[in-house]
Structures are given as C-alpha cells and as structure tokens.
Amino acid sequence: MFGMMLEKIKDFVVYDADREFYAKVFPDSVGRKDLMRLRKMRSSDLPGVLAIERANYQFPWGEDIFKDCFKANYSCWVCEESDNILGYCILAMAVGEAHVLNICVAPAEQGQGIGRKMMENLIEMSRGRAETLFLEVRPSNAVAIALYEDMGFNEIGIRKGYYPAKNGREDAIMLALEIF
Ligand SMILES: CC(C)(COP(=O)(O)OP(=O)(O)OC[C@H]1O[C@@H](n2cnc3c(N)ncnc32)[C@H](O)[C@@H]1OP(=O)(O)O)[C@@H](O)C(=O)NCCC(=O)NCCS
C-alpha cells in the first residue's frame, strides 16, 4: 500500500527532498542540477512553456497542441528551479513503447545538463512500462543528436518530410533506445 502511494507521489515530483536539506546545511555539497525539480506540467505553466517553445523552434507548437497532450494524458513535465521553468518534456506512453514528443530547455539554460537530466528521467519513467523509447530529431540538430547518441539512442530510420521547414519539409531521423 505504502509502496503504491510512493509510486504515485513519484509520478508527480521527481526530486529528492533530502538534497534541499543538505544544500542548506552544506551549501557546497549539492550542485544546482541536483536541486532542480521535475514536476508534472500544469495548464498554468503554459505561458512559460510557450515562451521557451517559441524561443527555440522556428515552427513552435501552439497552446492547443500542449492542451491536446494534457487531454491525451501524455506525461508532461517541467523542470523548475525556485518556481522558474527551465525546460519541459513530453512523453507518450503506449503498449510496450514510449515516445518523446518534445524536450526543450530555455536558451539561456542550455548546455548545463538540464536536457540530459530530463532525458534520464524520461528513461527512468519508461523503465518497466516500455521496452523501447523512440524520438524524432531534425538532422540539422547536432546538439540534440549528440545528447541522444551519448545516452545510447541508435538511428533506426528516416521519416521523410516529417518536419515543416522554410522551403517545404525536412526529414526526421528516428532514434530508439532499448530499455532494460
Ligand atoms: C537539445 C536540448 C534539449 C539539450 O538540452 P541541454 O540542456 O542544452 O543539453 P545538456 O546540457 O544536457 O547537454 C547534453 C549533451 O548535449 C550535447 N551538447 C549540449 N550543448 C552542446 C553544444 N553547445 N554543442 C555540442 N553539443 C552540445 C553534448 O553531447 C552534451 O553532453 P555533455 O554534457 O557530456 O557535454 C536543448 O539544447 C534544447 O532545448 N534545444 C532546443 C530544442 C530542441 O532542439 N529540442 C530537441 C528536439 S528533438
């Protein structure tokens, strides 16, 4: 019973509260990354999320798409630090497989390990529920590809004309990670 409750709580907050205590007592012992928390995205987060989305993508998702993700019960998360949203990620779970639909970090916060931390959490969430984690990425997105490959994703194919682009459409590289 307690185990079930704990699992439920972990679904909402991916965070070790002890770290906050240690950070206060031994400020040098806990890094910034350890104090960021991942929690479920709420509709009140959407203005902040949309600002990050628009700052990052040439063809950003509109509010309606995020709302559809809530409706579809996708796993929608924000990474925050003192009420400030640094990034977000969205995972769709189906039978045996999970799909990363969006992962995005505020431009000023990129390159500090936040994307990696969110992806580690998505992998952890998928463990036991899915055997494979899929995602699509633009071939031009070298930073994201470097992160995914470093985390063990492998290229499994190309989706022709998957993304809108300035001059028509751009292909997507499909990547997959086997989860053990
Ligand atoms: C892709 C993205 C989510 C990565 O998040 P991030 O917080 O910037 O990345 P991290 O700091 O966790 O870096 C993880 C890895 O990415 C790669 N990386 C990050 N910044 C990089 C840079 N400027 N140049 C090259 N590689 C880089 C490195 O492999 C890095 O590994 P390291 O920590 O061992 O150096 C983020 O850059 C982003 O939001 N980009 C815009 C939106 C986007 O393209 N999303 C992905 C759509 S598929």
Q: Average pLDDT, stretch 88-113?
A: 96
Q: Which two tokens stand for residue 116?
A: 């990696």
The total of structural domains in the chain comes to 1
Q: Please give the distance, rounded to the nearest whole angstrom, from the Cα atom of residue 2 to the centre of ligand 1.
A: 37
Q: Please give the distance, rounded to the nearest whole angstrom, from the Cα atom of residue 144 to the centre of ligand 1.
A: 5
**Is the CB–ligand 1 distance for residue 104 below 6 Å?**
yes
Q: What percent of the chain has pLDDT over 70?
A: 82
Ranges of H-type helices in the chain: 2-12, 17-25, 32-35, 46-56, 63-71, 114-126, 142-150
**Is the CB–ligand 1 distance for residue 72 below 6 Å?**
no
Residue 12 has pLDDT above 90, yes or no: no
Q: Which range is least confidently modeled, 4-8, 110-114, 152-156, 173-177?
A: 4-8
Q: Average pLDDT, stretch 50-68?
A: 98
Q: Average pLDDT, stretch 95-119?
A: 96
Residue 14 forms part of a structural domain = yes
The CATH number for 84's domain is 3.40.630.30
Residue 29 forms part of a structural domain = no
Say if residues 80 and 49 touch (Cβ distance below 8 Å).
Answer: no
Residue 100 forms part of a structural domain = yes
Residue 28 forms part of a structural domain = no
pTM of the model: 0.88
**Is the CB–ligand 1 distance for residue 132 below 6 Å?**
no
Residue 119 has pLDDT above 90, yes or no: yes
Taking only Cα atoms into account, the Rg of the chain, rounded to an integer number of angstroms, comes to 17
Residue 76 forms part of a structural domain = yes
pLDDT at residue 16, rounded to an integer: 59
Q: Please give the distance, rounded to the nearest whole angstrom, from the Cα atom of residue 105 to the centre of ligand 1.
A: 8
Residue 156 forms part of a structural domain = yes
| Closest atom of ligand 1 relative to the 135 alpha carbon | 48
Burial of 171 (0-12, 13-18, 19+ CB in 10 A): middle
DSSP 150-175: HTT-EEEEEEEEEEEETTEEEEEEEE
Verify whether residue 136 is a known catalytic residue.
yes
Q: Which range is least confidently modeled, 24-33, 54-63, 100-109?
A: 24-33
Domain range spanning residue 18? 2-23+36-178
Residue 81 forms part of a structural domain = yes
Residue 132 forms part of a structural domain = yes
Distance, in Å, from the CA atom of 115 to the CA atom of 41, rounded to the nearest integer, reads 16
Q: Helix, strand or coil for residue 177?
A: strand
**Is the CB–ligand 1 distance for residue 110 below 6 Å?**
yes
Average pLDDT, the chain: 89
Q: Please give the distance, rounded to the nearest whole angstrom, from the Cα atom of residue 134 to the centre of ligand 1.
A: 17
